[in-house]
Structure 1
């Protein structure tokens, strides 16, 4: 339990340090994506738009062949998803688990010791599809 409390206290500090490092470098390690209103529609889990944008950014980096940057960007998804778990999961646990497993697959593909670009592309496509399915289920 102590470890978890320490990690919770350290996360904002690490985020601040990362932000300062990124700003000091003068370049952003990701792209900014625009999503359509349909993609931003709220699911049973709530608004998944911010998570989908990170997945889209990751996809764009994979498409460019920059797997190292994609690995860094998907870490942002992992952190924000985990941070939002307590608010999302109770709304629709089954949907949350489906997306969580898809995020885990994309993370595993990008974190492999020798990442396969085709596997990375497929896993991020699958993840984007899961976000779209979650949104489409609510739109019906």
Structure 2
């Protein structure tokens, strides 16, 4: 237990039997991503230490369960896709710091978000490229994620 609260992970494990877990995993493995998101995930897989494609299917598949109840159902798919793209964008930033300690590329990508929702034709690499240490491939990919989002 954690203080007076039961361990949340143990609660989840106890609530899912083997058959239910297998069915959930199978439904996620069979889940198809929307084309724009699928293209980004495929491109992301080309990067060293990319997270497995299963994770992005999982995020997208479960996103509707985390959608606020006041969101009209006609927007649920777009919300799920945008949430998944946002998680992908944040994961890129997280990996740059945690796995690579690449602060220059992190700053270049973070500047994309600070530049606003559109880059208005600017060279995406030039937006944040401050030194030769910046990984232009990561910046260009992150810009595609941001622009698609």
- Whether the TM-score (by the shorter chain) exceeds 0.5 is no
TM-score by length of 1: 0.31
Higher RCO structure (Cα 8 Å, ≥6 apart): 1
TM-score by length of 2: 0.30
Q: Which has the larger radius of gyration?
A: 2
Q: Higher helix proportion, which one?
A: 1
